[in-house]
Structure 1
């Protein structure tokens, strides 16, 4: 807050400090297009387009403040080294002067832009207003009705095959009679025709071989357009090509000899030099160029993207040369440059996992990117972590039998090892065809062990094994199917305090029983986040998790008695869990500027136990609170419902989990200076039980859930170095659901400290929360 006030003071008092006496600070501009005589009414669209031509842009501003300019002015020095010079140049930004704006040239550029949009007779002018050494510039453009296309003709003959190919695709032309003349559309039409021809074997064709003739003298503000192929076009550009020999250099590096004497012929491909790196049968799943097939740009790009998706390679390139022995034939040369095969990595980080455990940790991982000569990625990861947060509930005196952790601030520690093998193809007992998608399908095999120690309560051992598939039929859609998901959870070394809790709470005891989780997890993700040019992007992930159905069905077939709460069905003397869980995570990203963004998130989930289980397994239940959840509350400290956890359990920070989760977040992200980013946020959420469990107010009631949401707000600082983000979020409780109605709004009790039940919570994490 002090830093923000300082910036406000600097921005308000010294914004023109370094502006020369005979100059002014360029603070802004407007562009007005007078379209009263334009029937297309494209004035607002043209204003946006013309505004983008103004250079240089004014100094960056946030809510009317110019923090980078304020830093530059505050630390201004004529010295070319030292701390002040570094801050001035790295974090600051020099004033943009009105003398740097060439209004005449910009007006001409604007006029040309209007001309390209069909406004052949236009005028553009500007005025500059200077007050208190601050200048604004106003541009005004006057336009009339644009010229419109009348007749659109292609000069095509039947003597050449290329003309027939263009004629066949004429119905998809972007040029329509009656549309305004638009140079960009005409350019796109040339690209469309070129793309069509590239899909029919015309390797040497290019858009600049097409030329337009435009006649604007036909009257009534109309234009006739004629499109033709240049007369001087080379013969090779006018004929389609087929693929002949395809050479694959599977272990290529710059400077290698391109001799092809040491070659393996495999299924019609020339594989060079041998199979000592990646075997040909595995590599060819990503090659869509085939002997004697027509060359197409689609097959070319698909091959490059699929091969580039193999972890064994870092560079992929394909060259083509005319075959010397056949007319209309191309030879393809595929060059694959290997990536570093093995790597060892150690990473200190703040851990945040799907079960909401969060805190600092250490990960050491070994990776082999070509484990079995098929670009398989073998990853062995060792992890260790513990939790640490500041503020929130849990201050006071520890109950008898529970370790006092106030001084150490250590609530749990976790150790684990996970081995995964990602195979870049579908490994299945069924003969599946190779998918024509640019994304490499994967078969995933996993095996791991995890050890969790909750101070003063228990230790939990978890073993897991998975077998699944990942594939992306298109850029925005990803499917994950894990038909084999095995997990065994075993509770050990419980303390007297924890045993007492279990004895008094049958629901809790069932959650912590030693049990098997045997089922499948199915996930679908839709995301447009990779499209950086869009103003609005969405992310939505749906997860279906099921367990116990196959085992229960098999035991029913062999005559096992129906399970009861006292006599459940077992597998190797331990119960197996039977449940279904559905989870949905939706996010919306609204880009408000080059670096400013408004992000909204809604996460909902429900888990239902049945048959052989009366409760969801502890490791599968939902929780709320922590650095990626409702940040004003400590991890797993909210709910269920309005349940007010006893002081003995609250102190020890014991888990509060449930069958239903509803959580929402709204966060505004903005730049501060350099790699420093800021955020303000509001979070809300809670968990509930589907059944009565002895926790007062813990069961979900549809009519009451909105009033039972925990609400928090706060601000954050992020150090974003592109490949690494350190995040500090300061959360402040607004509404506490476990308090009596009428007393849940606690913002007026905020004391500005990290102590007490309603104090601030500092969350330290790596990466953005969502």
Structure 2
């Protein structure tokens, strides 16, 4: 039956592909016109070295997948005039319409017609209209090719073209021939700067010019130099400077392929009545700073309550909501400072980060008391957000634990709690789900419950008893977060309860570099139903149950009427008695049982983790649509050291396991490091190559010989190695013997090529390599342990393809992964033996995996 279903699916796919391929690609091409099949650019008779040149022609052929213009075929499936055709049929076939109305109402008939029209429009929107060769577009393309090379310094570039027909009369391609000729180089740079103060500023930084004598002319360098000078001038008092007022002109007449560049900065033009006059640029300074925290209440008939604090004027039109220092700490300019864009931008960003104000505005007005026209009054205008904000949401969930679940999430945000722009965020979440309780066999609707509550208090500064302003100044946007949380699960796994709390500091050294320091991160996890272990971890249960059958165990102390071990009494008694040598188990069998007992004890034990961690991130991505960026994250965590010192000083004795307990729990002690690197390259037509490399290791010591399950690594799943399910892969070459496989070391390497298909549909090809290992912990299985670099041969490789639909605000992702190299198989069967649809894994995810 499985093979029949598989063959049917393959047949359906083949039929669909055949239908698309068999479509006539030129059926929507008008008579006398030609479909563009390809566009070729040759620069000095060879392919251009810079691939961007190929994208310059205005008309580009339809996108192709495996040589098939899929988007074009989808577009061709649409009828040109579906709306008029259907309604014309209604008018011309009254009998057919009457028969249809006998089945459907007249309203439903109209809706059916409209749905056909809507589907037809969707095909047009999703597909891609045929690209027609157009002479006007060709001339525009040639001009773009000339302009691009002109901007590279080839001022005498010549461009020609030819349209070449295919065998089919309705198809053709275009070849563009670019001849660059001799490039022009920078001979000298001269200046024409009208304002003496601007000329003086230029003389200070002219040695840092991006434009260099002797180098080939390059328009992007000219633009970059204009940006550099504009930023420098505005950061040194030139408040009225505009980038458009900085011009560069090149003289190339009779210069023997050399260009003389002239920097021109004229005086600024201002309106004087009906005429325009020129005024020299000046260096401006700030004479007053006014902060109005309740600008929405400012009216002409109400006087402000003015308070002078340090060198700021705070004007209030209502009751005092914010501390004076809270307002002034967000301002980066002072009375007497030279005007700087940098200070203004930092102030905007810092006020926005406070999350207490709507649309902050900074207005600079000429000081009427100053006769020189250089003084500015800075007015910071703030409008407060609502103090309380309540949100809630309802969601439906489905997982391998819950057949169906309904969840409610609520959040209450309280702003400016202590008048210092603090934020208190209190959230509650609850979920009830339907499942069968494997522990007792009861089937009840809504028998699964999850309940959680969290509170986070944020301060817009470092909350410390001492100052670190010289090390972490306020422009780094320092924040402090106190958080506590509680979570409880009932009838799910081992029925966990957890309590956590953290003290976290964040700051940003530069726009692309940030740091997070978790000074204290405490978590207590309690398992309420450890006896349910073998119901949850079925593979472990299967191993000991098979072993009991091999030993012919039929005593009711251990097994039920069906001959299977009972849970938990039978499994516990069997493991203990067999290891003690009472049931005839040999040494190998007892070793298996010891390993299973150790795993049960480890995964069902309560955990107390008190750790500190440091994370550093470098991310140069600019916005969510930037697809040419890199991101590096480094993290180190140490747990248990404080508890170890306290328990040692307090004289707490070690138990039989040579461990110390705090609050009745063996606390965890380990050090953990992670490195995560992501890089994206964007190519022509929104094609993207993305890679990711991840490495992590957690070493237990002192009071621990293994890592808590909640802090360990796993492999597989939609954001990892997609040819394996989550927790299915590893450790090492063991082949995922357990239900939830985890270890204390992980290596992962991913590469993905993403490309547009048609409309919002995107495609991808990917390869995922990696697995988990055990190292320097209590694991004794040699197949799971990483010993040396030769064990890298046990990294699993999955390859596959994906289909995605971009909704704009998120991406719905479908990825099918194939086990290309499986280290769990025999050495001569590891490559491609499971590369088949029946062994593939379908992953569904939201947004891209990295």
Alignment of 1:460-475 (within 5 A): 460-475=496-511
2:322–2:416 CA contact under 8 A, matched in 1: no
Per-residue deviation, 1:580: 1.1
Per-residue deviation, 1:324: 0.7
Task: String of CA shifts for 1:54-110, please: whole Å, max 9, x gaps.
Answer: 224433333432222211101133134613432233212222211274323433444
Distance 2:121 2:744 in 1: 54
From 329, 334, 337, give the equivalent of 1:285.
Answer: 329
Structure 1 residue 306 corresponds to structure 2 residue 350: yes
Per-residue deviation, 1:766: 2.9
Task: String of CA shifts for 1:502-534, please: whole Å, max 9, x gaps.
Answer: 964235414543242112122122223337897
2:722–2:768 CA contact under 8 A, matched in 1: yes
Instruction: Quote the residue 1:246 is aligned against.
Output: 289
From 798, 816, 820, give the equivalent of 1:730.
Answer: 816
Distance 1:410 1:689 in 2: 38
Instruction: Quote the residue 2:392 is aligned against.
Output: 345
Structure 1 residue 335 corresponds to structure 2 residue 386: no
From 494, 499, 502, give the equivalent of 2:530.
Answer: 494
Instruction: Quote the residue 1:662 is aligned against.
Output: 747
Check 1:128–1:295 CA distance in 2 against 1; reply closer, same or farther (3 A cut): same
Instruction: Quote the residue 1:65 is aligned against.
Output: 68
Helix, strand or coil: the match of 2:228? helix
Per-residue deviation, 1:303: 1.4
Per-residue deviation, 1:449: 1.5
Distance 1:644 1:108 in 2: 60
Instruction: Quote the residue 1:55 is aligned against.
Output: 58
Instruction: Quote the residue 1:756 is aligned against.
Output: none
Alignment of 1:354-393 (within 5 A): 362=407, 364-368=409-413, 370-372=415-417, 373-383=419-429
Distance 1:263 1:358 in 2: 63
1:8–1:65 CA contact under 8 A, matched in 2: no
Per-residue deviation, 1:331: 1.4
Per-residue deviation, 1:643: 3.5
Larger Rg: 2
Alignment of 1:404-415 (within 5 A): 414-415=450-451
Helix, strand or coil: the match of 1:432? coil
Instruction: Quote the residue 2:44 is aligned against.
Output: 34
Helix, strand or coil: the match of 2:75? helix
Instruction: Quote the residue 2:586 is aligned against.
Output: none
Check 1:516–1:496 CA distance in 2 against 1; reply closer, same or farther (3 A cut): closer
Structure 1 residue 152 corresponds to structure 2 residue 155: no
Helix, strand or coil: the match of 1:195? helix
Structure 1 residue 717 corresponds to structure 2 residue 720: no
Alignment of 1:451-600 (within 5 A): 451-452=488-489, 455=492, 458-495=494-531, 498=534, 500=571, 504=594, 505-506=597-598, 508-530=600-622, 536-560=628-652, 563=654, 566-600=657-691
Distance 2:432 2:785 in 1: 31
1:202–1:237 CA contact under 8 A, matched in 2: no
Distance 2:533 2:222 in 1: 77
Give unmatched runs, 5+ long, in structure 1: 37-42, 390-397, 754-758
1:91–1:673 CA contact under 8 A, matched in 2: yes
Distance 1:34 1:444 in 2: 61
Helix, strand or coil: the match of 1:103? helix
Check 1:591–1:257 CA distance in 2 against 1; reply closer, same or farther (3 A cut): farther
Instruction: Quote the residue 1:618 is aligned against.
Output: 709
Check 1:307–1:325 CA distance in 2 against 1; reply closer, same or farther (3 A cut): same
Instruction: Quote the residue 1:700 is aligned against.
Output: 786
- Structure having the higher helix fraction is 2
Range with bigger deviation, 668-677 or 360-369: 360-369
Per-residue deviation, 1:217: 4.1
- TM-score, length basis structure 1: 0.84
Instruction: Quote the residue 1:674 is aligned against.
Output: 759
Check 1:187–1:496 CA distance in 2 against 1; reply closer, same or farther (3 A cut): closer
Instruction: Quote the residue 1:22 is aligned against.
Output: 32
Distance 1:245 1:35 in 2: 65
| Higher relative contact order (CA closer than 8 Å, sequence separation 6+) | 1
Structure 1 residue 765 corresponds to structure 2 residue 839: no
Distance 1:254 1:19 in 2: 63
1:190–1:207 CA contact under 8 A, matched in 2: yes
From 164, 178, 193, give the equivalent of 1:129.
Answer: 164
Per-residue deviation, 1:670: 2.8
Helix, strand or coil: the match of 1:301? helix
1:263–1:271 CA contact under 8 A, matched in 2: yes
Task: String of CA shifts for 1:370-418, please: whole Å, max 9, x gaps.
Answer: 25144433333344579999xxxxxxxx9x986779x999999754322
Per-residue deviation, 1:620: 1.4
Helix, strand or coil: the match of 2:526? strand
Instruction: Quote the residue 2:550 is aligned against.
Output: none
Distance 1:239 1:35 in 2: 53
Per-residue deviation, 1:471: 1.3
Distance 1:215 1:761 in 2: 64
Instruction: Quote the residue 2:365 is aligned against.
Output: 321
From 67, 77, 81, give the equivalent of 2:80.
Answer: 77
Distance 2:18 2:404 in 1: 35
Check 1:565–1:698 CA distance in 2 against 1; reply closer, same or farther (3 A cut): farther
Check 1:229–1:599 CA distance in 2 against 1; reply closer, same or farther (3 A cut): closer
1:56–1:101 CA contact under 8 A, matched in 2: no
Give unmatched runs, 5+ long, in structure 2: 1-9, 84-113, 270-276, 535-567, 577-593
Check 1:664–1:551 CA distance in 2 against 1; reply closer, same or farther (3 A cut): same
Helix, strand or coil: the match of 1:144? coil
1:437–1:474 CA contact under 8 A, matched in 2: no
From 260, 266, 271, give the equivalent of 1:230.
Answer: 266
Structure 1 residue 174 corresponds to structure 2 residue 207: no
From 242, 245, 248, give the equivalent of 1:209.
Answer: 245
Per-residue deviation, 1:560: 4.9
Distance 1:12 1:98 in 2: 23
Distance 1:588 1:146 in 2: 34
Distance 2:70 2:474 in 1: 46
Range with bigger deviation, 695-704 or 582-591: 695-704
2:512–2:618 CA contact under 8 A, matched in 1: yes
Range with bigger deviation, 549-558 or 441-450: 549-558
Instruction: Quote the residue 1:632 is aligned against.
Output: 723
Check 1:363–1:601 CA distance in 2 against 1; reply closer, same or farther (3 A cut): farther
Per-residue deviation, 1:478: 1.8
Instruction: Quote the residue 1:162 is aligned against.
Output: 198
Q: CA RMSD in A?
A: 3.9
